């Protein structure tokens, strides 16, 4: 059994298609979504429809939450406010209902999924180092947990102390705990523009990160055609 574990799609339809095709090629028969289906890019409804169609476990991301609220945009910087208003206007009530109903933390088989952190899942803190990871590990009751939110793939391993590993693949060992960031499908920020997701191979007890080139020019053109900020198109190519 193989799980394709993906998140931070951020309305990037081309990247999502590419990831799902790759997952099928690798023999993944289960899907898990780590949240932030919408926000930033130009195909929120199309991405929502695909994720809903997979009928898989999904947790809520901060952009999924924001997109459903009617809060004022005044406190945000003008770029973020513009993009968020665009996303809110693009969604239908049925999309908002579906996003609003998502849980912050879920257990799937023998592992946990969360968008940001297990210590304050609705506080949307960022795990960027082993100290942040330690706080999350205190609330992790399965040996394996997947998360996203930083848009940077990373393996945090707890065996007494905590280590942060920027590797492509890891073999799971009993007695250790793993908090694994699958990276971002639709807006990677680790300097590598390629879409990122994880494959959890249950039989082999391994987790691998895969990076995939996709049709970024189309995604960028859609951002421009939608009148979204140009910066959202240029950052995609820079991977940040
Ligand atoms: Zn995100």
Say how many Å lie between the CA of residue 10 and the centre of ligand 1. Answer: 7
CATH class of 2-238: alpha beta
Say how many Å lie between the CA of residue 61 and the centre of ligand 1. Answer: 7
Say how many Å lie between the CA of residue 116 and the centre of ligand 1. Answer: 9
Say how many Å lie between the CA of residue 137 and the centre of ligand 1. Answer: 21
Predicted TM-score (pTM) of the model is: 0.96
Beta-bridged to residue 162, according to DSSP, are: 158
Per-residue pLDDT of the chain (240 residues; tens, 9 = 90+): 999 999 999 999 999 999 999 999 999 999 999 999 999 999 999 999 999 999 999 999 999 999 999 888 887 788 778 888 999 999 999 999 999 999 999 999 999 999 999 999 999 999 999 999 999 999 999 999 999 999 999 999 999 999 999 999 999 999 999 999 999 999 999 999 999 999 999 999 999 999 999 999 999 999 999 999 999 999 999 999
Say how many Å lie between the CA of residue 87 and the centre of ligand 1. Answer: 14
CA atoms within 13 A on the CB side of 198: 33
Say how many Å lie between the CA of residue 66 and the centre of ligand 1. Answer: 12
Q: Spell out the residues 6+ positions from residue 17 whose beta carbon is closer than 8 angstroms to its own.
A: 214
Among 49, 8, 41, smallest CA distance to 147 is for 8
Residue 9 has φ and ψ, to the nearest 5°, of: -75, -40
Say how many Å lie between the CA of residue 186 and the centre of ligand 1. Answer: 9
Say how many Å lie between the CA of residue 59 and the centre of ligand 1. Answer: 12
Say how many Å lie between the CA of residue 113 and the centre of ligand 1. Answer: 15
Q: What is the dihedral of CA 92, 94, 96, 97, to 10 degrees?
A: 160
């Amino acid at each position: 059994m193989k799980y394709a574990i993906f998140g931070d799609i951020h309305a990037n339809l081309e990247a999502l298609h590419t990831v799902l095709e790759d997952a099928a090629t690798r023999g993944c028969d289960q899907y898990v979504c780590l949240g932030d289906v919408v926000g930033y890019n130009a195909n929120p409804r199309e991405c929502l429809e695909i994720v809903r169609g997979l009928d898989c476990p999904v947790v809520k991301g901060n952009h999924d939450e924001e997109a459903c609220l009617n809060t004022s945009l005044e406190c945000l910087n003008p770029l973020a406010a513009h993009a968020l208003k665009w996303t809110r206007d693009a969604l239908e009530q049925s999309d908002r209902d579906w996003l609003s109903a998502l849980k912050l933390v879920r257990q799937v088989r023998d592992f946990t999924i969360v968008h940001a952190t297990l210590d304050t899942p609705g506080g949307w803190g960022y795990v960027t180092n082993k100290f942040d990871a330690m706080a999350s590990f205190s609330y992790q009751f399965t040996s394996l947990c997947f998360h996203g939110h930083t848009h940077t793939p990373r393996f945090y391993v707890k065996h007494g102390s905590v280590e942060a590993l920027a590797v492509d693949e890891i073999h799971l060992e009993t007695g250790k705990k793993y908090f694994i960031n699958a990276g971002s499908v639709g807006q990677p920020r680790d300097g590598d523009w390629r879409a990122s997701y994880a494959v959890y191979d249950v039989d082999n007890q391994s987790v691998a990160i895969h990076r995939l080139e996709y049709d970024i020019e189309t995604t960028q053109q859609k951002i421009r055609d939608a009148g979204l900020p140009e910066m959202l198109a240029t950052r995609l190519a820079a991977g940040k």
